[in-house]
Amino acid sequence: MTITFEPGSHSRADRPTHVTYDELQRAYDHFNERLFGNGLPACLITLQREKRTCGYFSAQRWASMDGRTTDEIAMNPAYFAVTPIVETMQTLVHEMVHLWQYHFGKPGRGRYHNGEWANKMEAIGLMPSSTGKPGGARTGDHMADYAIEGGPFLAACEELLTQSFQISWYDRFPAADHIAHGLASQAAQLSNSAAAALPIQISSSLASMVRGASTAIGQVSGEETTTGPQPAPPAAANRSNRVKYSCSGCGVNVWGKPGLNVVCGDCKVPFEV
């Protein structure tokens, strides 16, 4: 579909920038009211295609000409089409907890998600997990989460989605790892079933435009799909004899041969592959 712009004739639907950021701001305001008592300050929401991350928070990232500053919450649009909308909202709220902690708590050093952050996540209905599934660590440098059944987040999300909320514009070229993330996500089953479905399942028009959509839909339904656009092939396996080991405490990395038993001298914890 081609959109033709004529001077002076722009309707709201003809302005993708306005529509996209208005939707994200609406979601932010809704969760701020329902989960944070309207206590969070305003921030600047951006779209960033950072590799291997659904979103991030950056404190006081932006400055105005009159000397004011504001925080940034970035969302990765490459996941939008191939991830259930409830997962996209989880990413937004996950970063809102970082914003809350920056202003009202004590953030961990660097990228570390500490106990205070984990407790706040649980309080609003998101269980922090290093694996994104039950049983994962509650704290660490690289953290995911899953929705707690019957918790405040799911209630707030369901309320938002029953108010005709939607994301209108989607990145057409998700990478293979974005599709894999969407297929593996533990989407909560809300009464609004559209929340747990991939957007490409809901809209056939969107599916016809998104690379890899037919493959993703086929895997969700358990059917083999060989027609339509295919995702990029996975990266070649690392065939070197070096393995990266990381400390879950301080985040320092070392490289060595497979099978090493490495312990951090500062944190006194084993390194993880």
Parse the chain into domains and list their residue ranges.
12-117+147-221, 243-272
Q: How many CA atoms lie within 13 A of 181 on its CB side?
A: 23
CA distance 179 to 220: 11
Tokens representing 243 are 């393995």
> Mean pLDDT by 10-residue block, N- to C-terminus, for the chain (273 residues)?
50 83 98 98 96 92 97 97 93 98 94 95 96 91 91 96 92 88 64 74 92 76 44 45 70 72 71 73
Asked if 130 and 137 count as a contact pair (C-beta separation under 8 A), the reply is yes
What CA dihedral angle connects 192, 193, 199 and 201, to 10 degrees? -150
Asked if 135 and 129 count as a contact pair (C-beta separation under 8 A), the reply is yes
Looking at residue 7, its pLDDT comes to 52
CA distance 136 to 185: 14
Please report, for residues 70, 112, 118, 196, 229, the alpha-carbon distance to residue 153 in angstroms, rounded to integers and kept in the order given. 25, 23, 14, 14, 35
What CA dihedral angle connects 34, 129, 233 and 183, to 10 degrees? -50
CA distance 68 to 37: 24
- Identify any residues that bridge with 127 across adjacent strands, giving them in sequence order: 146
- Find, among 151, 146, 150, 157, the residue nearest to 192 by Cα: 157
Looking at residue 252, its pLDDT comes to 73
Report the predicted TM-score, pTM, of the whole model to 2 decimal places. 0.75
CA dihedral for 170, 172, 178, 184, sign (positive or negative): positive
CA distance 32 to 26: 10
Place of tokens 């709220």: 93
Looking at residue 221, its pLDDT comes to 57
Place of tokens 């070197």: 240
